């Protein structure tokens, strides 16, 4: 976007220049909730956009299927309040790996170990399709005047992480400087609770409790010792114990702090205009 285009955008709002930008006093960062004048003001203040990515995926019986995207988006909104910038609506399509089940069927992700289509697993697209989607999304953001993009994934499949890194590396090579960064949203929280790791384990459950406690229902969990459905090993379902909203808040803050630090490094390294 050049100076002429920026001036043309600014002129769209000459008639309301003296009106408050935030009549209620609260700055909104979620792009889909913003009016155009607010978008321009926030972009000109900090040309950063977060793109959270996740999945619609089985997260055991007690958690919402949107957990990956919920965490990526929730952390991004909280980080943007510190760093500036805006947050794009979550992209819920994603990647996983394919394999053969014990019955000989070809399935993907946790459906392989479960040997059945787990309810809620509705997210898989092809690797090339996904990479093109992310690359086009980044290019579109840059076209509209953003100079820094944070790709924040809440889904930890190897294929998805690899695709996001590949897209970021290609965009940075094209721009000649680091303009796109990646972040695995959940990673700072994985070691903060005893036995916290694992899909839908204690740490990931705490993250959802810290963001949206009403979405977790421990009454839906199977009895302790029940094998994990969809796990690629023979471990029992995690014993969540007395997880609290305070646990959730602590783990969420750790993830947000980690994201903020990475984004601030990205912004500090942008070339001056």
State the SS3 of 195-247.
CCCCCCCHHHHHHHHHHCHHHCCHHHCCCCCCECCCCCCCCECCCCCCCCHHH
Q: What is the pLDDT of residue 198?
A: 79
Tell me, what DSSP letter sits at residue 53?
Answer: E
pLDDT tier at 229 (50, 70, 90 boundaries)? confident
* Distance separating alpha carbons of residues 153 and 69, to the nearest angstrom: 7
Domains of the chain by residue range: 46-188+256-268
Buried b (16+ CB within 10 A) or exposed e, 39-62: ebbbbeebbbbbbbbbbbbbbbbb
Residue keyed to tokens 């809620």 = 120
pLDDT tier at 237 (50, 70, 90 boundaries)? low
Q: What percentage of the chain exceeds 90 in pLDDT?
A: 83
pLDDT tier at 243 (50, 70, 90 boundaries)? confident
Whether the model clears a pTM of 0.85, i.e. scores above it, the answer is yes
pLDDT tens sequence across 61-72: 999 999 999 999
Please state which architecture CATH assigns to domain 46-188+256-268.
Answer: 3-Layer(aba) Sandwich (3.40)
pLDDT tens sequence across 204-218: 999 999 999 999 998
* Distance separating alpha carbons of residues 141 and 48, to the nearest angstrom: 9
């Amino acid at each position: 976007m050049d100076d002429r285009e920026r001036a043309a955008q600014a002129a769209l709002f000459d008639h309301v220049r003296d009106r408050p930008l935030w009549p209620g006093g609260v700055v909104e960062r979620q792009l889909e909730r913003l009016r155009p004048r607010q978008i321009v003001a926030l972009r000109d203040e900090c040309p950063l956009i977060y793109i959270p990515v996740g999945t619609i995926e089985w997260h055991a019986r007690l958690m919402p299927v949107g957990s990956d995207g919920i965490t990526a988006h929730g952390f991004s909104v909280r980080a943007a309040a510190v760093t500036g910038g805006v947050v794009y609506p979550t992209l819920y399509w994603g990647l996983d790996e394919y394999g053969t089940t014990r019955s000989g069927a070809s399935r993907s992700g946790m459906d392989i170990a479960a040997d059945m289509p787990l309810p809620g697993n509705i997210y898989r697209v092809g690797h090339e399709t996904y990479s093109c989607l992310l690359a086009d999304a980044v290019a579109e953001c840059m076209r509209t005047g953003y100079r820094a993009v944070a790709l924040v994934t809440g889904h930890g499949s190897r294929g998805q992480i690899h695709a996001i890194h590949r897209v970021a590396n290609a965009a940075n090579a094209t721009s000649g400087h680091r303009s796109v960064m990646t972040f695995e949203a959940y990673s700072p929280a994985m070691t903060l609770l005893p036995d916290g790791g694992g899909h839908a384990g204690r740490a990931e459950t705490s993250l959802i409790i810290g963001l949206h406690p009403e979405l977790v229902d421990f009454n839906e969990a199977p009895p302790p010792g029940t094998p994990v459905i969809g796990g690629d090993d023979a471990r029992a379902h995690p014993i969540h114990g007395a997880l609290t909203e305070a646990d959730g808040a602590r783990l969420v803050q750790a993830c947000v702090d980690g994201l903020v630090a990475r984004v601030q490094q990205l912004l500090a390294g942008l070339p001056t205009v």
